[in-house]
Amino acid sequence: MSETKKTYWKGLAQLKNDPNYVKHADKEFVDLAVAEDPGHSRRDFLKMMGFSVAAASLAACEAPIRKAIPYVMKPVDADPGIPNYYASSYVNGGDYCSIVVKVRDGRPIKIEGNSLSSVTLGGTSAQVEASVLSLYDNYRLRGPKKGETSTDWETIDKEITTKLAEIAGKGGAIRIVSNTVLSPSTLATIAKFKEKYPTTEHIQYDQVSAYGILKANEESFGASIIPSYDFSKAKTIVSINADFLGTWISPIEFTKQYAITREVSEDRREMSRHFQFESNLSLTGANADYRTPIRPSQEGLVVVQLYNLIAAKAGKGNLSASIDKVEHLEKAANELWENKGSSLVVSGSNDKAVQVVVNAINELLGNYGVTINRELPVNFRKGNDEAMLAFVNEAKEGKIGGVIFYNCNPVYDHPMGEELGAALKNIALSVSTSYTPDETASASAYMAPDHHYLESWNDFEPKENTFSLSQPAISPIFKTRQAQESFSIWAGGSNEDYFSVVQANWKNWFYDKKDGLDFQAFWDKALYDGVFTAPSEEIKISAFAANLEAAASSISSNYKASSNSDELVIFEGYGVGNGSQANNPLLQELPDPITKAVWDHYVTISQKDAKKWGITNDAEGFTQHLTLTVKNKSITLPALIQPGQAEGTLGVALGYGRTKVGAVAENIGVNVYPLVSLLNGSLNYSASEVKVEKASKEFQLAQTQIHQTYMGRESVIQEATLAEFKENPKAGRDEPKITQWDDHVDASSLSLWKGYDYNNHHWGMAIDLNTCTGCGSCVVACNVENNVAIVGKDEVVRRREMHWLRIDRYYSSPEGTAINDYDGLEKAAENPEVTFQPMLCQHCNNASCETVCPVAATTHSTEGLNQMTYNRCIGTRYCANNCPYKVRRFNWFKYHDNQKFYQSNPAMNTDLGRMVLNPEVTVRSRGVMEKCSFCVQRIQAGKLNAKRERRPVKDGEVVTACQASCTSGAIVFGDMNNPESRISKLLKIDNTKVIKKEDGTEETVFNYSFDKKIGNPRAYRVLEEVGVKPNIFYLTKIRNKDKAKENA
Amino acid sequence: MQATSTIREPLITGGKTVRDVSEDISRQVEGKPTSLWWIAMVVSLVLLFWGFYCLCYQQWNGVGVWGLNKTVGWAWDITNFVWWVGIGHAGTLISAILLLFRQRWRMSINRAAEAMTIFAVICAATFPFVHMGRLWLGFYWVFPLPNTWGSLWANFNSPLLWDVFAISTYFTVSLVFWYMGLIPDFAVIRDRAVRMGHKTRALVYNALSFGWDGAARTWSRYESVALILAGLSTPLVLSVHTIVSMDFATSVIPGWHTTIFPPYFVAGAIFSGFAMVLTLLLITRKMFRLEDYITIYHIELMNIIIIITGSIVGIAYITEFFVAWYGQVPAEYYAFYNRATGPYWWAYWSMMTCNVISPQLFWFKKIRTNLVATFVLSIIVNIGMWFERFVIIVTSLHRDYLPSSWSMFHATIYDVGEYVFTFGFFFAAFLLFAKYFPVINMAEVKSIVKSTSEKKH
């Protein structure tokens, strides 16, 4: 069979043997679309669209994850919701306070004074109270840095150690620069460092130096010390430019002592008399009985004149410098002499010569051993101005090999800071241990951040043989390291933690087996108490021996009795202080006790000079700038007209003009440290020959109080002189009467309301206007305790600060102003008397706010509290309008989680800052009213505690935040239904009433009525005539003056 | 009912017949809007929308966008509230009290006056709402609604709550009264529409007139209801502003705490209301050519009421000062001293000039019968009355008891914006009313046409 050779083609393509066909010949079905690529198919499109829609919606729906992780193993002392308290110490340079830290859920949220301390005696200050927020400062360094780049500890340790060894090997000078170091263990660590690198020198300096006192005491007594002062024993106090209640040496301690001498009652009709000679109106001057404005250039001469007046009485010779009559000086001298041995003369001067003469005055008066204790020197200011200047000069000359700045910021806060900053570039090794990248840290090559003090272990010796500990209240938030450990590592030592070092030191230094305690028990007690006093050794102080004539001639050449030039006075403010805590909004928004200005840097000028320079301050803080030129350095600042400012002087505060500081304090004011000069080897915080020019720029200052006088309203401020008070304890009381058709009756006796009883507690408060110094620590304490929003300058200018507690400061009007001369009363006197009045919700029993709220959001409790229900508030503001005390605060905006308030209110707008908020107090939303609650969360905690222990609440168990922070003890809070409570005793409340029974007999029963009979003749309710019957009583202000309304 | 004195001038001039009345009034409703109307409407809408933006901005960001502060918690908001409520009073007075007193001249002005009342009360009511910090809760918490919060309820002690009742009652009664008067007139327009073959219009106005049949029995019921409502409204004329004044009078703030407020506020309200009626009617009269219906005689009578109430207000101002001096309560004394001489002296003296001095010009017949003078003065009076409330609220608050808290208030653009919002609303609403509703009560006017509008030969 022949094979058929027939071929069947699939098509023409096969016949032609088309390469395109051959390529796909093995496929059964020809893919017709091979030649054309359609790109993305419809299905792709659908897939992609589906994916994107799903992805977009998933991304949009994603809820922020907030992790709340329960403890697997609960730490022993941490109970959620229950605060722990740790004794510790606040130290900032040489400023010291023994404190108790309140820790909730591992976060420090509040600081209070430690009453076991023999130094600060349980007091605090605004800066101490505010420092808890600095822990959560967003500007803090997150870890070590080399220049601008973050690195780790191993790297910088290696580099620093190598460089130190190199420098030491070449014999180059190494310097450790710090502020006053109070810590003995730190000094021991530095000493070890010095052993390793023998070319090391430790230089201490202070932003506001007291080197003049150290030198004067060395000359007078052979010991370079600052003695302890005891104002509580002084019957006559004379202060020449020493702001001892505000900033000088140890203000917390002095405030405590001073308050003791200012407390008067029916039974104790005596108080100290305080003379103040100063240029700026300081907090201390505002509290003085007699105040004389002097120029800084007269300061030395005033001191010499005082010496001469007293020496004349003591039968000693005159010194050769003199000044004409200084108002009140002779009177002061007479009274000092009368109260020999129980008087005190202090001077804020940093001039050795002046301090020598002050020493001589106190010696003549026999004050040593009584009001001044040389045997118990204090360590708050150990800075050596000369050594520091020498260091800066060496640095400039390139003689320094390496420098470590231990928690100090001289580039900002030293007069030659700018030159130092420039010189640092040429120094082989520069390290800063500051916890923020401040001016000095930024100028240094390495940043090796220390812990915040609330994260660290340390020990301190504020006074000779008086010690205290600080312990961490939180584990370090960032990768910071205790500076002492850094020193130890750089010195090649072991990286033993500093806690063990401190403990070991204490074992060596203080542990005394004789007590029978084992060391652990001794240590635990010291740590629990936070303070420890070592047995003191006898200190030998030689008798007073100084060349007074030399001092006097130095004074007569440096000071002038009169001058035509304008003079600058540089001082430390009460809010941001020396500037180290400038980035703390609590302090920026703390009204200056005197000027009531916030967020601003300004120059204070006298009323007369204001006229001369054409400066006008209107009621809303609009002002003009002044340019001050001191030795070719100029600064331009807005001017604030300050009653009481000495004519021809200008006051400017330190602490502003920080450049590397964080969002809060950026661009506020100018740095005036460069204007500080040198006099007799120490820093001089004044300058003469100041050229003043008005600059054209307008400015608006933010002040929380824009009306300065109390307009003669005696139902607001009730005051008397001591002489009047001695005659009549009711002196100064204004008891408003109401005229009925036939009679005059007490305003308080008439009411539309029926009255009611408080059958359980009846909370009340008494505020002593005489012991209140106006310092403002209560304001900060209240802000921290109650999560009060900080609103920033713009909102303060709109008069919307949120403070629940404010301190009203009133100046007296010019002498002889008639009570109906309203325009006259509006003006403050040239050198006014000053009154401070803390003002907070008065918790009225017939509260005018409660009746007007349409939704009953503010109501009265059964314990006398006027309470605010935020949830219920709809924000009509009627309550605030109808409040005679204007203490209610409205949330005009959302102050939390709002970028608009990021800069001013980090505590509510940053994750870090929020950690400071008190979980027991609601953060208020926008549109609701808020106000003082008498710290109702503390009342509740106290009551619950008592209930758990099945007992009544004890007096003193419930303490409001303001009361706790009040160093002078002016605020007393308690249960007025408890006859044994401090407030009942202070107000002399008569808790009984007589009722008539049906059978005609009378019976005395306990009086639970809201309207208690108050027996203290000094106690008054502000605006008694309105009839709202507050639960807060004020005690009259008593001035120790010879006659009323005498010019201060 | 036909007891008209023949000596009187006719109330309606131009020899109008009943048919003329229907024709003249309905013409506005049936015709196309004039260009003047359009211009006015556009201006009103611009104000409305800009004001609405300000209102939204304020609600979104918080009350802080206004110029208020810790001391001055109310300023433009409550000033505007009281001012608008006051304006509303003239409408009620005209429709109720003058009806009871058989003042026939009220007939050609009551419709517009009542419409003004309704819109003014709506404008007024916006302020208590938007001034709240939390409107989203406050708008219903202020009403005593049943709820599950236990004893938490509205606080009946609060004058603000009294306001809620006063204003809502006032608004309801005024609205019903006004609408009831409109019913026969809607029927007229419906009937004309049927005749002219406008089906839609006939349908709409039939619905609006509730199928009014014009039977004698219907008329009789209509008149009795009118009388009853007039009786109900009469106390409201006095009560609403009395209660508004109690927001201040029951407080403890010097300058607010005054027993003279209720009569003083009521007089002021009528004073400002009549001024506003004049402002509006003079425009309407011109725009719709209603000179024969709203005559010089009407205007003169209203001006006389302005002199009377203005003088009462003036006496009240002086009495306040006298009592402040006579009482010798220091805070009170200072509050009034501060009003006249303090930082807000300009507001006080603006008030005195506008409210007390300027209306005295109406003693001159030439002035009170002059249209331009009346128009200008009517606006001046309303400016003065706005200042009166501003003076009472702001100058009393800004310096009260404790000098430490004394401060100043400065208005912001948003304060102004929300005031403008209410103006936009008021005029837009009034223009819509004037275009689509009969602006003069035809039914009532017809009753006075025959007897009073004979042509003089």
pLDDT in tens, A764-819: 999 999 999 999 999 999 999 999 999 999 999 999 999 999 999 999 998 888 88
Q: What is the phi-psi region of residue B215: left when phi exceeds 0, alpha when psi lies from -120 to 50, beta otherwise?
A: beta
- Architecture, CATH, for domain A719-863+932-1039: 2-Layer Sandwich (3.30)
CB-nearest to B251 from A713, A806, A882 is: A882
Residue B452 has pLDDT above 50, yes or no: no
The answer to whether the beta carbons of residues B452 and B149 sit under 8 Å apart is no
Domain ranges for chain A: 1-62, 145-208+383-465+476-510, 212-378, 562-703, 719-863+932-1039
DSSP state of B257: -
Tell me what the mean pLDDT of segment B142-147 comes to: 84
The two three-digit tokens of residue B184, written as one number = 């026969």
- Which chain B residues contact residue A886 at CB under 8 A? 70-71, 400-402, 405
Which residue does chain A place closest to B77, by CA atoms?
A876
Nearest neighbour of B134 by CB, restricted to A795, A852, A874: A874
Q: Which of residues 175-214 of B touch A (CB under 8 A)?
A: none
Pick B252's closest partner by Cβ from A848, A853, A891.
A848
* Domain assignment of residue B276, yes or no: yes
Min Cα–Cα distance to chain A from B191, Å: 50
Report pLDDT for B7: 58
Query: B7 in a domain, yes or no?
Result: no
Q: Cα separation of A867 and A859, whole Å? A: 5
Q: Name A699's bridge partners.
A: A623
Is the CB of B215 inside 8 Å of chain A's CB atoms? no
CB distance A709–B67 less than 8 Å? no
Judged against a pLDDT cut of 90, whether residue B11 lies above it is answered with: no
- Identity of the residue in A710, A854, A886 whose CB atom sits nearest the CB atom of B154: A854
Handedness of CA A340, A345, A351, A352 (dihedral sign): positive
State the smallest CA–CA distance between residue B332 and chain A in angstroms. 11
Closest to A142 measured CA to CA, from A457, A455, A456, A436? A436
CATH of A562-703, picked from 2.40.50.140, 2.60.60.20, 1.10.510.10, 2.40.40.20, is: 2.40.40.20
Among A779, A873, A877, the residue to mutate for chain B (most B Cβ within 10 A): A877
Structural domain count of chain B: 1
Could you tell me if B402 lies within 8 Å of chain A, comparing CB atoms?
yes
Contact at 8 Å (CB) between A901 and A788? no
pLDDT at B119 over 50: yes
What mean pLDDT do residues B7-24 have? 75
Q: Which of B65, B78, B129, B252 to mutate to test the interface with A (most CBs of A within 10 A)?
A: B252
Domain presence at residue B453: no
| Cβ pair A880:B250 closer than 8 A | no
pLDDT digits (tens, 9 = 90+) for A91-150: 999 999 999 999 998 899 999 999 999 999 999 999 999 999 999 999 999 999 998 899
Look at strands A446-447 and A429-432 and give their pairing: parallel
| DSSP 8-state secondary structure symbol assigned to residue A190 | H
Per-residue confidence (pLDDT) for residue A321, from 0 to 100: 78
The confidence score (pLDDT) of residue A275 equals: 96
What's residue A1048's pLDDT? 37
Taking the CA atoms of residue A307, residue A308, residue A310 and residue A312 in that order, the dihedral angle to the nearest 10 degrees is: 160
Nearest chain A alpha carbon to B331: A713
Contact: A884, B400; criterion CB under 8 Å:
yes
Chain B residue with CA closest to A856: the answer is B155
CB contact under 8 A, A707 and B404: yes
Lowest mean pLDDT among A806-815, B18-27, B64-73, B369-378: B18-27
Cβ contact, residue pair A876, B343, below 8 Å? no
User: Is residue B457 over pLDDT 50?
Assistant: no
pLDDT above 50 (res B456): no
Specify if B142 maps to a domain.
Answer: no
Report pLDDT for A674.
Answer: 94
- Which pLDDT score, from 0 to 100, does residue A1000 have? 85
Chain B residues within 8 A of A884 when measuring between CB atoms: 252-253, 400-402
Average pLDDT rounded to a whole number, residues B275-292: 86
User: What letters, b where the CB count within 10 A reaches 16 and e where it falls short, cover A707-735?
Assistant: bbbbbbbbbbbbbbbbbbbeeebbbbbee
Please judge whether A884 and B62 are an interchain contact, meaning their C-beta atoms are less than 8 angstroms apart. no
Instruction: Point out the residue among A706, A810, A890 whose CB comes nearest to the CB of B407.
Output: A706
Residue A637: partners with Cβ closer than 8 Å, 6 or more residues away: A601, A602, A603, A625, A626, A628, A652, A669, A670
Beta carbons of B404 and A806 less than 8 Å apart: yes
What domain range is B355 assigned to?
Answer: 18-133+154-448
How many other CB atoms are found less than 10 A from the CB of residue B18? 13
- Give the one of B70, B152, B337 whose C-beta lies nearest to A872's C-beta: B152
Q: What is the nearest CA distance from A934 to chain B, expressed in angstroms?
A: 20
For residue B428, the distance in angstroms to the closest alpha carbon of chain A comes to 29
Contact A854 B331 (CB under 8 A): no
- B337 in reach of chain A (CB within 8 A): yes
Q: What are the tens digits of pLDDT across the range B383-417? A: 999 999 999 999 999 999 999 999 999 999 999 99
Handedness of CA B30, B34, B36, B40 (dihedral sign): positive
d(CA A407, CA A708): 40
Question: What is the rounded CA–CA span in Å between residue B44 and residue A200?
Answer: 82
Q: Show residues of chain B in contact with A894, CB under 8 Å.
A: 62
Nearest-CA distance A621 → chain B (Å): 11
Q: What parts of chain A have a pLDDT lower than 70?
A: 1-4, 27-40, 61-65, 514, 1044-1048
Residues of A in contact with B329 (CB under 8 A): 1025
In sequence order, what DSSP letters do the residues of A982-1017 get, joined into one string?
HHHHHHTEE-EEEEE-TTS-EEEEE--BSSPEE--T
Chain B residue with CA closest to A927: the answer is B133
Do strands A989-990 and A429-432 pair parallel, antiparallel, or not at all (unpaired)?
unpaired
Write down the ipTM of this complex.
0.93
* Residue B304 touches chain A, beta carbons under 8 Å: no
CATH architecture of residue range(s) A145-208+383-465+476-510: 3-Layer(aba) Sandwich (3.40)
Chain B contact set for A895 (CB, 8 A): none
Residue B139 lies in a domain: no
Q: Does B168 touch chain A (CB under 8 A)?
A: no
Question: In terms of CATH, what superfamily is A212-378?
Answer: Dimethylsulfoxide Reductase, domain 2 (3.40.228.10)
Among chain B residues, the shortest Cα distance to A736 is held by B329
Nearest-by-CA chain B residue for A807: B404
Nearest-neighbour CA in chain A from B133: distance (Å): 4
Q: Which residues of B touch A798 (CB under 8 A)?
A: 64, 67, 69
pLDDT on residue A2: 54
Report d(CA A667, CA A793) in Å as an integer.
12
Which residue among A877, A885, A928 sits closest to B74, beta carbon to beta carbon? A877
Residue pair B306/B274 in contact (Cβ under 8 Å)? The answer is yes
Is residue B195 situated within a structural domain? yes
Q: Could you say which of B138, B250, B329 has the minimum Cβ distance to residue A875?
A: B138
Task: Give the distance from residue A285's alpha carbon to the nearest chain B alpha carbon, in angstroms.
Answer: 21
pTM: 0.90
Cβ contact A928–B141 (<8 Å): no
